[in-house]
Structure 1
């Protein structure tokens, strides 16, 4: 059986530019035949809208909507549009994360309550309301995919609150998988190795992290957007119909190493 997403409708969140892992996922879903919807982070000057619209134009998305997950009204509006235009959804891709730079450096115990709350809201909590609004629209056999990182289970320098947020995200994946399983909707996370993206640029020492993976991972390299995207396309397809509640590591094997 070949990977075939023709006839599937996939909503992809979190594309910021051509370095985004979400962009790699969108490309692979499109290549497998899925019809795409794309969200962008709205701002007063419309910078993200223009960049994301231009970038994704070759993929011919049939939905293109603003989405700030800290605004419940925008979440409702996105899924109202999905219902109006598509009638259903088959794949939901959650690639959203944020933490202020001050919350990523120094001693973790110095984190502010405001910084903690915002990082957890955007990076972990946001998956729940997206799934809540998608739930009545999901077709049987639907798939939810989110992005995590090894910092969810190991203490990674300069990752701090984002590691806590990713741990919460992975726990959310398990609880949402239990909830949505009644509709035969699967929920999984991809724990990707470090890739230079707009989000990762906020992490101090990201290049050192990449070089460490290249040195110690069994494959002696880091992974690409396309490899993460290919895994997402697999998880979105019927080939992964028996996989749910899991964190899939796409990190060139780095997670298995001891030293």
Structure 2
């Protein structure tokens, strides 16, 4: 089978989680667009809009919409706009995570009940809410991607409560893959190594984590958003048509090291 230079030509995708041009979601969106996809892009609120809009403009996004995933009305509005514009959805990228600063910087055992529930709701259950709304738009099959981190599997210093949260996210990927597979909808997770994004900047001693990653990785490199984008493109393309329920490491090999 010949490889197309635009394997996503005619495909329609929703990208949620761009904070600025340095975001993992921005790197993925750029790869999708270069491969020929038409995109819908969301932004959190008016404060975030000025950072996201230049990215959406550069991508030539067909739709640019507000989305706070805690607001079901906004979720409904985004998917209604997609249905009205395209009548279908081929792929979805969920690249959002949140926890309160005091919980991110504190011990897991000290996490507040409300803080834990909020982190799980925004970072994990939002994937389920999106998948539920995406399912009827993926009548011909589709691909759902989310973004995890190695801290879901092993204890990573200073990752704290986000470790259990990402572990729950990866479990949801497996269950969604099983439930949606009969409809031809594939669900996978990307697990990049540490890279400097707005979200990562909130992790204590993140510069030290980057240095350690570079030193320990078999390739002696840290990854870029372009590296993650290349893997994301594979997962939403037909090349991965029989791949679902996976967690894909893009970390220069760190995950294989003891």
TM-score, length of structure 2 as denominator length: 0.97
Contact 1:90–1:139 (Cα < 8 Å) also in 2: no
Q: Alpha-carbon deviations, 1:202-229, whole Å to 9, x = none? A: 1001111111110011001110100100
Contact 1:101–1:203 (Cα < 8 Å) also in 2: no
Structure 1: distance between partners of 2:237 and 2:107: 42
The answer to whether structure 1 residue 81 and structure 2 residue 81 are counterparts is yes
Task: Return 5+ residue gaps in structure 1 as ranges.
Answer: none
Aligned to 2:20: 17
Q: CA deviation at 1:139?
A: 4.1
Compute the RMSD of aligned alpha carbons. 1.0
Q: Single out whichever of 96-105 and 249-258 deviates more from structure 2.
A: 96-105
Show structure 1 runs of 4+ deviating over 4 A.
Answer: none
Give the 3-state SS of the residue equivalent to 2:42 in structure 1. Answer: strand
Contact 2:94–2:146 (Cα < 8 Å) also in 1: yes
Aligned residues: 255
Aligned to 1:97: 97
Q: Alpha-carbon deviations, 1:219-257, whole Å to 9, x = none? A: 011101001001000100000001000100000000000
Contact 1:103–1:161 (Cα < 8 Å) also in 2: yes
Give the 3-state SS of the residue equivalent to 2:161 in structure 1. Answer: helix
Q: Single out whichever of 83-92 and 135-144 deviates more from structure 2.
A: 135-144
Task: Return 5+ residue gaps in structure 2 as ranges.
Answer: none
The answer to whether structure 1 residue 5 and structure 2 residue 4 are counterparts is no
Structure 2: distance between partners of 1:83 and 1:181: 22
Aligned to 2:130: 130
TM-score, length of structure 1 as denominator length: 0.96
Give the 3-state SS of the residue equivalent to 1:140 in structure 2. Answer: coil
